[in-house]
Amino acid sequence: MEIRYPNGKKYNLTKVEKKTQLHYGNRGMTLEEDLNESNDYYLTNHIAVIHKKPTPVQIVSVDYPSRSAAVIKEAYFKTPSTTDYNGVYKGKYIDFEAKETKNPTSLPLSNFHEHQVNHIRQVLQCGGISFVIIRFSKTEEVYLLDGNFLLQFWERMEKGGRKSITKQEIIDNGHNIPLGINPRIDYIRVIDSLYKEVLD
Amino acid sequence: MEIRYPNGKKYNLTKVEKKTQLHYGNRGMTLEEDLNESNDYYLTNHIAVIHKKPTPVQIVSVDYPSRSAAVIKEAYFKTPSTTDYNGVYKGKYIDFEAKETKNPTSLPLSNFHEHQVNHIRQVLQCGGISFVIIRFSKTEEVYLLDGNFLLQFWERMEKGGRKSITKQEIIDNGHNIPLGINPRIDYIRVIDSLYKEVLD
């Protein structure tokens, strides 16, 4: 929104105002944007260091017109072999995948790659904290579901069962993350109560 | 090397033989290759889950000739904001950067981006295990240097001191990682003794 002084001169929003406007004005942010912003908050406040991993690409051809500006001319997206987010909180390894669905009643398991599910299994075997953050975009509800439950639902599918996790199953086995202002998705607070014994 | 039967027919190496040949035959592997192989070993044996992060690229233009084969037509390398490797060992967060130098007597600090040094500082503040693996390629010696020492040498440079860490300083403050066969660079063993209290 453009704001003008009474004399017609354009008023430039300050950084803080822009940020506030973003928070209140833009409810259309993706789960990824909300999580990146929450991670920025954790980082700035020395709470946790959690980053989204870069998208894996297979680089085929690169032009070097000058040393400082190599241009990738041909590359392909690779299937990720791990989850998207990982980092450290209170010394512990944190690892998660974020999934958003427009489906109001269930999360289709086709949202996950087999590699990612195997990665979650491996992380749990090595004592890491692993989970999925799920947003039902229609209602903006966000849940945290521990990796062990994802593995159970994945195995149910492999045995011929349903190819999705129902929203009710996510409610029953997961934890609602209330939406806040800063951070928007305060998943660390849920982790704090959920993995209390491991974290102390 | 090609191996032939007495009748001249080509002998195809088995998978295991290929692997052995790789280990004994190819001493020219880069530090990254050696580390990836070591990480594979840790993963396969359920010891630790540690991956190299994908190279961060800024994607500018993508062609979609068909859904399954999107081609990235223009992209640029981005400066990494974190270190290259991270993961989990015994529930703890492990984070490191790997640097190889042809310089026989010191590691120039120009090998690090300021972002990476800040990341190491943040990881240490959140209780993570952070270090650098340094290989002197001329002699194939590999050392592990705790992140706190890197920060000290970095600050010395910022105060106008030398722009490198001498090899002697790395020997005095770091830990030699003996080269093995499988895994090639068994840094987890060094971590085990170095961070004993944190890991139990």
Query: Which pLDDT tens digit goes with each residue over A142-158?
Result: 999 999 999 999 999 99
pLDDT tens readout for residues A158-186: 999 999 999 999 999 999 999 999 999 99
Helices (H), chain B: 15-25, 31-44, 114-125, 147-158, 167-173, 187-194, 196-199
Q: Is the pLDDT of residue A19 over 50?
A: no
Q: Measured between beta carbons, which residues in chain A are less than 8 angstroms from residue B55?
A: 54, 57, 59
Query: What percentage of chain B reaches a pLDDT higher than 90?
Result: 78
C-alpha distances (whole Å) from A67 to each of A71, B73, B134 are 10, 19, 25
Q: Over range A104-108, report the average pLDDT.
A: 97
What is residue A84's predicted lDDT score, i.e. its pLDDT?
94
Q: Which of A49, A73, A123 has the CB atom closest to B122's CB atom?
A: A49
Q: Given pLDDT bands bounded at 50, 70 and 90, which one contains residue A36?
A: very high
DSSP one-letter string for chain A: --EE-TTSPEEPPPHHHHHHHHHHH-TT--HHHHHHHHHHHHHHTTSEEEEEPPPPEEEEEEE-SSTT--EEEEEEE---SS-SEEEEETTEEEEEEEEEES-SSEEEGGGS-HHHHHHHHHHHHTT-EEEEEEEETTTTEEEEEEHHHHHHHHHHHHTT--SEEEHHHHHHHSEE--B-SSSSB-HHHHHHHHTHHHH-
CA distance B4 to chain A (A): 34
Half-sphere CA count of A105, side-chain side, radius 13 A:
1
Whether the ipTM is more than 0.95: the answer is no
A149 to chain B, minimum CA–CA distance in Å?
19
Highest CATH level, class, for B14-53+80-199: alpha beta
> What is the average pLDDT value for chain B, to the nearest integer?
88
Q: How confident is the model at residue B22 (pLDDT cuts 50, 70, 90)?
A: very low
pLDDT above 60 for A112: yes
CB contact under 8 A, A57 and B56: no
Phi, psi for A33 (deg, rounded to 5): -65, -45
Residue B65: per-residue pLDDT: 81
Residue B130: closest CA among B99, B154, B97, B95: B95
Is B54 in Cβ contact with A88 (below 8 Å)?
no
* Architecture of the A15-199 domain: 3-Layer(aba) Sandwich (3.40)
Q: pLDDT: is B137 or B6 the higher one?
A: B137
Taking an 8 Å cut-off on Cβ atoms, the answer to whether B77 and A86 are in contact is no
Please choose, from the candidates A101, A67, A97, the residue with its C-alpha nearest in 3D space to the C-alpha of residue A83.
Answer: A97
pLDDT for the residue A80: 87
A93 C-beta neighbours (distance < 10 Å), count:
29
Residue predicted with more confidence, A10 or B132? B132
The tens digit of pLDDT for each residue in B143-191 reads 999 999 999 999 999 999 999 999 999 999 999 999 999 999 999 999 9
Domain ranges of chain B: 14-53+80-199
B19 pLDDT more than 60: no
Position A92 pLDDT exceeds 60:
yes
pLDDT of residue B3: 52
pLDDT at A28: 67
Of B19-23, B24-28, B105-109, the range with the highest mean pLDDT is: B105-109
Q: To the nearest whole percent, how much of chain B has pLDDT over 70?
A: 84
DSSP one-letter string for A136-159: ETTTTEEEEEEHHHHHHHHHHHHT
In the prediction, which pLDDT does B29 show?
A: 85
Comparison of pLDDT for A2 and A83, the residue scoring more: A83
Residue A65: the pLDDT is 81
**Which residue of chain A is at minimal alpha-carbon distance from B43?**
A122
Taking only the tens place, the pLDDT of each residue in B71-95 is 999 999 998 889 999 999 999 999 9
